[in-house]
Amino acid sequence: PFCALTRPLSAIACLLQTNIQSDCRWYSVSHLSVKERIEKKRKAAQMGGGQKRIDAQHQRGKLTARERVELLLDPESFVETDMFVEHRCSDFGMEQDANKFPGDSVVTGRGRINGRLVYVFSQDFTVFGGSLSGAHAQKICKIMDQALTVGAPVIGLNDSGGARIQEGVESLAGYADIFLVHPSDLPHHGSLCILTHLMLCLQDTSYLFITGPDVVKSVTNEDVTQEELGGAKTHTAVSGVAHRAFENDVEALLYLRDFFNFLPLSNQDPAPIRECQDPSDRLVKSLDTVVPFESTKAYDMLDIIHAVLDEGDFFEIMPTYAKNIVVGFARMNGRTVGIVGNQPKVASGCLDINSSVKGARFVRFCDAFNIPIITFVDVPGFLPGTAQEYGGIIRHGAKLLFAFAEATVPKITIITRKAYGGAYDVMSSKHLRGDMNYAWPTAEVAVMGAKGAVQIIFRGKENQAEAEAEYVEKFANPFPAAVRGFVDDIIEPATTRKRICRDLEVLASKKQVNPWKKHANIPL
Amino acid sequence: MGIQTVAVHSDVDSNAVHVKMADEAVCVGPAPTSKSYLNMDAIMDAIRLTGAQAVHPGYGFLSENKDFAKRLAAVGVTFIGPDTHAIQAMGDKIESKLIAKAAKVNTIPGFDGVVKTAEDAVKIAQQIGYPVMIKASAGGGGKGMRIAWNDEETREGFRFSSQEAASSFGDDRLLIEKYIDNPRHIEIQVLADKHGNVLWLNERECSIQRRNQKVVEEAPSMFLDADTRRVMGEQAVQLAKAVKYSSAGTVEFLVDSKKNFYFLEMNTRLQVEHPVTECITGLDLVEQMIRIAKGYQLQQKQEDIPINGWAIESRVYAEDPFKSFGLPSIGRLSQYQEPLKLSHVRVDSGIEEGSDINIYYDPMISKLVTYGATRAEALARMEDALDNYVIRGVTHNIPLLREIITHPRFVSGDISTNFLPEVYPEGFKGHHLDEDRCRELLASAAALHVTSQLYSHKILGTQRVSSAPMDQNNWELCVELGQELHDIEISKSGNSYIVKVDGGQVEVCGDWNLASPLLPLTINGTCRMLQCLSKESSGNIVLQYMGTLFKVRVLSKLTAKLNSYMPEKVSEDTSSILRSPMPGTVVAMSVKPGDTVADGQEICVIEAMKMQNSLTAVKQAKVKSVHCQPGETVGEGDLLVELE
């Protein structure tokens, strides 16, 4: 699910030329007993590529593969597999003992995070730059298979230069093996798996791209730095490839531990419920005044989200990408929930291509892992303009619509202010099988804002101001939706937390099945 | 009192507490005070609309505006306050001093005019009595002021000041005035009806001030003896009688270290700090004002006015006390809890959870008043009340308030209007932790961390959690505070933790409710109220302890070791960029790109809450770019100007 990516890219070939011999790896002496040889190999495996390389890793401000595993897992919970595996390459001098490292360039095994089972692999940059060999791939696939059979997640801590060039096609086959594992686990069986679900990365040291700056230059004659092309900032703010960036290894791993607690172990497990000290019937008085009087004035949707959640604890996903929609995980009365909210502070909270895709992906994640979805709506509509239309806003907006419609987990929606037009429909409306849909007294459920509506209805006529006032009186309030049953109730904002917590209790037993199909055909 | 009330408000205040409390409310205009609360036409309209019979003008705005009082009188609406002529007489600084002198109220003795020779100056000084202050009449404020304690110094002061008067101002006149050393600001509350009865309701000590604004007030004053109090009270009554005063009013005095007191001015309205007087006298001043306005006689006689115990008021402001004892801050009160569960605590506030503190009005959050039989009791309650006060979303001055009321000089009563600059010559830096307090803080943070780690294991109703029990009872941690790392051993038994830190041992007990902003702990047997402002996965915890916020980072020993490999974050070079220190409006931009500025040269002026702040360059440099324009509203930390 999560792939803490820590810098690939580095000239592995160069590294291989340097023949570092370290005492602790020097074990091919025949007079040792088996027991002693085991001991030696174990010691060598612990040292990875040797002390010098470990020091170099530290100097770059990075941790070693083992240190990362140690930080991520509960103390003494790590059970390692394949510590004795070595690579099988015999070309370019790779067959020499000095070039054999027990465990090769990846550490694999299982352990626990806050007592909960997890499989983990951690690429070892100190061994051949963490490059992917056939053996390396085999080790990863093995724990993935194990994870699949028991229904447990896999966390991959990536720090690799790429395929091991000396191995040629075998390493590429390894890639194929790994990538083949995950798709198969998605629909039904089991585990949250690798890369595909969530990717966390590090500021300043993570780079990810299909081709590096040199190739870019030679092909497209574009000058770009590594950081600009595939740095953490690019992927979290511009491309939307990574889901969150952290300052360094330690911070990322500490956050990952806490984040892990929000998620079920597999898609067949219910979302976890943690003991909760925050009263579920707590009235949140500050919500009564959070929405400004002028409907053109912005406010921060995060103020609402933080105030409603257990202990204000919100793990935001993609906080710097498409900021006009807010998504993330939290708890309500101890139950994990996914939060989706329009952000009036950014671009008035409108839906555009990026925010639709960001939202859709998140909603599907929640649905795949049995996490109820709470949606806070203040949306003036879809962003108009050629850039959006040419970019395919219809197709991308449909993704969010599709995701909400398809989701069978409990869905609770709160309309805080604007819910205009098609965007209202999309945002987990009653029409998309919302379980509980609420409106605050400040809600305006309408086809569009009064001004725009009047300009169309009374085109070229006078008395527009009067007509606008009439439109506001008629539609800029929660009644039109409430009388039709499109919202279940109009609630006092202060009671929002209490309402959601109660509903979640009831909806915990919700069962809803979509008609059978091989897979849904989301408008990709 | 059974009186129906109408509140007036500006449009941004339409959800304010006073509006909700009143029976009716009328909006008198947009946010800027000149268009709403100072807009007499709109307020007169509101009066007409609601048929109001009387107006209480509050503390600021139109409360001392004689024109407003006249307009009310013209339409037959009662102004709850003194007559217009009293407002006028006391509103003029020079006239009020003359009236006071005539009423035999002590005024600051002084001479303003041409002094020919040094010997003349000495003569004048001797008449006034030492120490005296000498300066050029034309010089404003304290500029060029010299203090003389004897004849010799007077001669010297005369020489300097007359030279300066001639050269700088071309005006020979000198001002020689009694110099008041260690001045205290002590004021007498008076209450007068329309039948010539005047009472003095004892004094209020308001010496703790910053920029001439009061911060902490108390009643009575530790400094006054019964005789001085009586004489001051009687003089205040004489003054009130001299201007035929009615309603509540305040006569302000400066008091020197020898208990000589001198009239400063009279405020013809209710004062912000009136609650302390109410606490010790048992009188409701607003009720009295309304009764008086209605024409009733005072029910009390002077001998009925008691001093019951002691009351202290802290003005809780939305401002950052670390910047010149308080620069305004704005924001939304995301969480707000007044310490009303404690006894003998009164909180007068106009805001509530969810309220916005905006740039249009005074950034006061509330007046926190505690009282007790003795000063020590009132102070102890104030300490508790400040520790229990939850304010989130804006920066506030509780750290400073708590430091003031626990400072030995304040506790012993050794204060003056120079208290803050004297005690904190380098500016306020927050609470300084001594060794014991530091250990307590570290231990509390460590215990909180362990509690929250254990809490993370409490996943309910799942079979798939390791059956291996969490029997860990001992942890080795490393806590970072400031730049220092402290190794900590901590062990748990029940709700309490034994923490070994820096060679000492601390026992920390508590309920450990992680959802509550308050963290009541018993540390080594002493009850302490801490507050947890934030707790992140990265181990960063922000705790409020002894009123001040401390940032700590708690990591396991292993994590701390690995963390030492992490690169340090390079901080921004702040000498080449100018950021707004507070939210406000840019009123002037003195530079443009390409200009060269000198060290200390003004770059721009930001106005916030009626205060103009000049921002200056900290080095000589060329202006690279300007990111704001006059009239623009800026937030705290917004980039204003970049230098090269």
Can you say how many angstroms the Cα of residue A386 is from the centroid of all Cα atoms in its chain? 30
- CA B392, CA A312: separation in Å to the nearest integer? 12
Chain A: give the shortest CA distance to residue B556, in Å: 10
- When CB atoms are compared, the residue of B336, B516, B537 closest to A258 is B537
How many inter-chain contacts (A to B, CB under 8 Å) are there? 115
Average pLDDT of the residues in A275-291: 93
- A59 compared with A131, residue with greater pLDDT: A59
Catalytic residue among B24, B265, B507, B602: B265
Residues of B in contact with A249 (CB under 8 A): 562, 566
pLDDT tens digits along B221-270:
999 999 999 999 999 999 999 999 999 999 999 999 889 999 988 999 99
Residue type, B438: C
pLDDT tens digits along B262-282:
998 899 999 999 999 999 999
* CB-CB neighbours of A273 under 10 Å: 18
**Mean pLDDT, chain B, integer:** 89
* Token pair 């890793």 in the structure block, residue: A57
**CA geometry: angle A193, A236, B334, nearest 5 deg:** 100
- For residue B82, give Cα distances in angstroms to B239, B289, B302, B475: 13, 9, 20, 68
pLDDT at A290: 92
The yes-or-no verdict on residue A1 having pLDDT over 50 is no
Q: What are phi and psi of B406, to 5 degrees?
A: -110, 0
Contact (Cβ atoms closer than 8 angstroms) between residue A437 and residue A429:
yes
Determine which helix (DSSP H) or strand (DSSP E) holds A306, and give its type and residue range.
helix A301-308
pTM, two decimal places: 0.85
- Percentage of chain B modeled with pLDDT above 90: 55
- When CB atoms are compared, the residue of B458, B562, B567 closest to A274 is B458
Burial B437-446 (b: 16+ CB within 10 A, else e): ebbbbbbbbb
Contact (Cβ atoms closer than 8 angstroms) between residue B389 and residue B339:
yes
Distance from first CA to last CA of chain A, Å, rounded?
Answer: 21
Whether chain B has a CB inside 8 Å of the CB on A65: the answer is no
pLDDT tens digits along A335-357:
999 999 999 988 889 999 999 99
- CA B628, CA B644: separation in Å to the nearest integer? 17
Q: Do B566 and A67 touch (CB under 8 A)?
A: no
For B47, counting Cβ atoms within 10 Å of its Cβ (0-12 exposed, 13-18 middle, 19+ buried), the class is: buried
Using pLDDT thresholds of 50, 70 and 90, give the confidence band for residue B143.
Answer: low
Mutate to test the interface with A, among B538, B554, B559, B561 (most CBs of A within 10 A): B538
Q: Which of residues 235-294 of A touch B (CB under 8 A)?
A: 247-251, 254-255, 257-259, 261, 265, 269-270, 272-279, 285-290, 293
Chain B: give the shortest CA distance to residue A447, in Å: 29
Residues of A in contact with B472 (CB under 8 A): 75
Q: Do B334 and A303 touch (CB under 8 A)?
A: yes
Q: Do B559 and A250 touch (CB under 8 A)?
A: yes
The yes-or-no verdict on residue A166 having pLDDT over 80 is no
CA torsion angle A273 A278 A279 A283 (round to 10): -120
- CA A261, CA B565: separation in Å to the nearest integer? 27
> Is B153 one of the annotated active-site residues of the chain?
no
Contact (Cβ atoms closer than 8 angstroms) between residue A317 and residue A360:
no
Using pLDDT thresholds of 50, 70 and 90, give the confidence band for residue B469.
Answer: low
Contact (Cβ atoms closer than 8 angstroms) between residue A94 and residue A105:
no
pLDDT tens digits along B425-458:
999 999 999 999 999 999 999 999 999 998 888 8
Q: What are phi and psi of B259, to 5 degrees?
A: 65, 20
Selection from A137, A232, A124 nearest residue A175 by Cα: A137
Average pLDDT of the residues in A456-460: 80
- CA A133, CA B122: separation in Å to the nearest integer? 99
| Most confident of the following: A145-154, A395-404, B464-473, B619-628 | A395-404
Tokens of A481: 């939706």
Residue type, A167: E
Contact (Cβ atoms closer than 8 angstroms) between residue B329 and residue B320:
yes
Rounded to the nearest 10 degrees, the angle between the axes of helix B93-102 and helix B84-91 is 100
The yes-or-no verdict on residue A12 having pLDDT over 80 is no
Residues of B in contact with A255 (CB under 8 A): 537-538
Chain B: give the shortest CA distance to residue A191, in Å: 14
Q: Do A261 and B569 touch (CB under 8 A)?
A: no
Bond preceding residue A187 cis, omega within 30 of 0: no
Bond preceding residue B220 cis, omega within 30 of 0: yes
Mutate to test the interface with A, among B562, B568, B569 (most CBs of A within 10 A): B562
Chain B: give the shortest CA distance to residue A279, in Å: 8
Selection from B257, B358, B340, B339 nearest residue B32 by Cα: B358
Selection from B477, B474, B470, B476 nearest residue B454 by Cα: B470
Indicate if ipTM > 0.90: no
Contact (Cβ atoms closer than 8 angstroms) between residue B527 and residue B520:
yes
pLDDT at B144: 66
Residues of B in contact with A71 (CB under 8 A): 558-559, 562
The yes-or-no verdict on residue A393 having pLDDT over 80 is yes
Residues of A in contact with B332 (CB under 8 A): 286, 290, 303
B-side interface with A, Cβ within 8 Å?
11, 14-15, 332-336, 352-356, 455-462, 464-466, 468, 470, 472, 513-516, 537-539, 555, 558-559, 562-563, 565-567, 569
pLDDT at B643: 84
